[in-house]
A = this chain, B = another copy of it.
Amino acid sequence: MTSQDDAGGLFAPDRVAVVGATEREGAIGRAIVANLAEFDGDVVAVNPKRDSVLGYDCYPDLGSVPDPVDLAVVVVPPSVAVDAVRDAGEAGVRSVVVITAGFSETGGEGAERERELAAVADEYDLDLVGPNSLGVLSTPTGLNATFGPSNALPGNLSFMSQSGAFITAVLDWANDQGIGFKDVVSLGNKAVLDETDFLEFWADDPETSVVLGYLEGIEDGRAFVDTAREVTQETPAVVVKSGRTEAGAQAASSHTGTIAGSEAAYEAGFEQAGVVRAENVQELFDFARALDGLPLPASDDVAVVTNAGGPGVMATDAVGDSRLSMASFTDDTLDALEAAMPEEANVYNPVDVIGDADLERFETAVDTVLADDNVGCAVVVSAPTAVLDFAELADVVAAAQAEHGKPVVACLMGGERTAAAERALSEAGIPNYFDPARAIHSLDALAVQADVEAREYEAPTEFDVDRERAREILAAAADRDDRRLGVEAMDLLEAYGIPTPEGEVVDDPTDAERVAGRIDGDVVMKIVSPDILHKSDIGGVKVGVPPDEVRDAYEDLVTRARNYQPDATILGVQVQELVDTDAGTETILGANRDPQFGPLVLFGLGGIFVEVLEDTSVRVAPVSEREAAGMVDDLDSAPLLRGARGREPADESAVTAAVQRLSQLVTDFPAILELDVNPLLATPDGVQALDVRLTIDPEEL
Interface class of chain A by DSSP: helix
How distant is A59 from chain B, measured CB to nearest CB, in Å? Answer: 27
Assess whether B248 is in contact with A313, with CB atoms less than 8 Å apart.
yes
Residue in contact with A385 in the complex, picked from B168, B438, B611, CB distance below 8 Å: B168
Q: How many of these chains are in the complex?
A: 2
**Which residues of chain A from 659 to 681 have a CB within 8 Å of any chain B CB?**
none
Given A385-B168, A438-B282, does the pair A636, B613 have CB atoms closer than 8 Å? yes
**Which residues of chain A from 218 to 253 have a CB within 8 Å of any chain B CB?**
240, 242-248, 250-252
In the complex, the chain B residue whose C-beta lies closest to that of A306 is B165
Specify which chain B residues have a CB less than 8 angstroms from the CB of A611 in the assembled complex: 644-645
Assess whether A346 is in contact with B255, with CB atoms less than 8 Å apart.
yes
Assess whether A608 is in contact with B308, with CB atoms less than 8 Å apart.
no
Q: Is A612 an interface residue (CB 8 A)?
A: yes
Assess whether B320 is in contact with A166, with CB atoms less than 8 Å apart.
no
Assess whether A386 is in contact with B248, with CB atoms less than 8 Å apart.
no
Determine, out of A12-20, A80-88, A414-422, the stretch whose residues face the partner at the interface: A414-422
Q: Is A162 an interface residue (CB 8 A)?
A: yes
How distant is A479 from chain B, measured CB to nearest CB, in Å? Answer: 37
Q: How far is the CA of A385 from the CA of B164 in the complex (A)?
A: 11
Specify which chain B residues have a CB less than 8 angstroms from the CB of A309 in the assembled complex: 163, 165, 255-256
Q: Is A6 an interface residue (CB 8 A)?
A: no
Specify which chain B residues have a CB less than 8 angstroms from the CB of A325 in the assembled complex: 247
In the complex, the chain B residue whose C-beta lies closest to that of A314 is B242
**Which residues of chain A from 280 to 323 have a CB within 8 Å of any chain B CB?**
280-282, 307-314, 316-321
Q: Is A694 an interface residue (CB 8 A)?
A: no
Assess whether B637 is in contact with A165, with CB atoms less than 8 Å apart.
no
The 8 A CB mask of A247-289 against B (1 = contact, 0 = none) is: 1101110111000000000000000000000011110000000
In the A-B complex, list the 10 residue pairs whose CB atoms are closest, starting with the nearest.
Answer: A163-B310, A245-B320, A176-B415, A165-B308, A248-B317, A169-B413, A280-B437, A165-B383, A172-B414, A255-B309
Assess whether A169 is in contact with B384, with CB atoms less than 8 Å apart.
yes
How distant is A404 from chain B, measured CB to nearest CB, in Å? Answer: 23
How distant is A35 from chain B, measured CB to nearest CB, in Å? Answer: 12
Q: How far is the CA of A169 from the CA of B636 in the complex (A)?
A: 40
Q: Is A355 an interface residue (CB 8 A)?
A: yes
Given A174-B415, A317-B248, A320-B246, does the pair A162, B310 have CB atoms closer than 8 Å? yes
Q: Is A326 an interface residue (CB 8 A)?
A: yes
> Apart from A165-B355, A166-B310, A169-B414, what 9 extra A-B contacts exist at CB < 8 Å?
A161-B310, A164-B355, A172-B415, A245-B321, A247-B319, A250-B316, A281-B436, A282-B437, A608-B637
Residue in contact with A216 in the complex, picked from B242, B310, B417, CB distance below 8 Å: B310
Q: List 7 A-B contacts (CB under 8 A).
A: A150-B384, A169-B383, A172-B415, A173-B434, A611-B644, A612-B637, A612-B644
Q: Is A106 an interface residue (CB 8 A)?
A: yes
Given A163-B310, A255-B312, A437-B279, does the pair A383, B245 have CB atoms closer than 8 Å? no
Given A172-B415, A311-B165, A613-B613, does the pair A244, B317 have CB atoms closer than 8 Å? yes
Q: How far is the CA of A384 from the CA of B176 in the complex (A)?
A: 14
Q: Is A177 an interface residue (CB 8 A)?
A: yes
Given A252-B313, A317-B247, does the pair A165, B607 have CB atoms closer than 8 Å? no
Q: How far is the CA of A319 from the CA of B639 in the complex (A)?
A: 34
How distant is A389 from chain B, measured CB to nearest CB, in Å? Answer: 12
How distant is A168 from chain B, measured CB to nearest CB, in Å? Answer: 5
Q: How far is the CA of A275 from the CA of B616 in the complex (A)?
A: 34
Specify which chain B residues have a CB less than 8 angstroms from the CB of A243 in the assembled complex: 313, 317
Given A26-B386, A386-B26, does the pair A307, B415 have CB atoms closer than 8 Å? no
Q: How far is the CA of A673 from the CA of B355 in the complex (A)?
A: 40
Given A384-B169, A645-B612, does the pair A251, B318 have CB atoms closer than 8 Å? no
Q: Is A175 an interface residue (CB 8 A)?
A: yes
In the complex, the chain B residue whose C-beta lies closest to that of A241 is B317
Assess whether B384 is in contact with A149, with CB atoms less than 8 Å apart.
yes
The 8 A CB mask of A473-492 against B (1 = contact, 0 = none) is: 00000000000000000000
Specify which chain B residues have a CB less than 8 angstroms from the CB of A438 in the assembled complex: 280, 282
Specify which chain B residues have a CB less than 8 angstroms from the CB of A612 in the assembled complex: 636-637, 639-640, 644-645
Assess whether A416 is in contact with B176, with CB atoms less than 8 Å apart.
yes
Specify which chain B residues have a CB less than 8 angstroms from the CB of A321 in the assembled complex: 244-245, 279
Residue in contact with A326 in the complex, picked from B247, B310, B320, CB distance below 8 Å: B247
Specify which chain B residues have a CB less than 8 angstroms from the CB of A636 in the assembled complex: 612-613
How distant is A645 from chain B, measured CB to nearest CB, in Å? Answer: 6
Residue in contact with A637 in the complex, picked from B383, B434, B613, CB distance below 8 Å: B613
Residue of A245, A280, A313, A385 contacting most chain B CB atoms (<10 Å)? A313
Residue of A251, A281, A311 contacting most chain B CB atoms (<10 Å)? A251
Q: How far is the CA of A169 from the CA of B383 in the complex (A)?
A: 5
Assess whether A251 is in contact with B175, with CB atoms less than 8 Å apart.
no
How distant is A285 from chain B, measured CB to nearest CB, in Å? Answer: 9
Specify which chain B residues have a CB less than 8 angstroms from the CB of A282 in the assembled complex: 434-435, 437-438
Given A254-B348, A320-B244, does the pair A414, B173 have CB atoms closer than 8 Å? yes
Q: Is A214 an interface residue (CB 8 A)?
A: yes
The 8 A CB mask of A175-213 against B (1 = contact, 0 = none) is: 111000000000000000000000000000000000000
How distant is A474 from chain B, measured CB to nearest CB, in Å? Answer: 32
Q: Is A352 an interface residue (CB 8 A)?
A: yes
Specify which chain B residues have a CB less than 8 angstroms from the CB of A434 in the assembled complex: 169, 173, 281-282
The 8 A CB mask of A402-429 against B (1 = contact, 0 = none) is: 0000000000011111000000000000
Specify which chain B residues have a CB less than 8 angstroms from the CB of A161 in the assembled complex: 310
Q: Is A700 an interface residue (CB 8 A)?
A: no
How distant is A85 from chain B, measured CB to nearest CB, in Å? Answer: 23
Q: Is A540 an interface residue (CB 8 A)?
A: no
Q: How far is the CA of A608 from the CA of B607 in the complex (A)?
A: 14
Q: How far is the CA of A39 from the CA of B570 in the complex (A)?
A: 94
How distant is A582 from chain B, measured CB to nearest CB, in Å? Answer: 14
Q: How far is the CA of A637 from the CA of B169 in the complex (A)?
A: 44
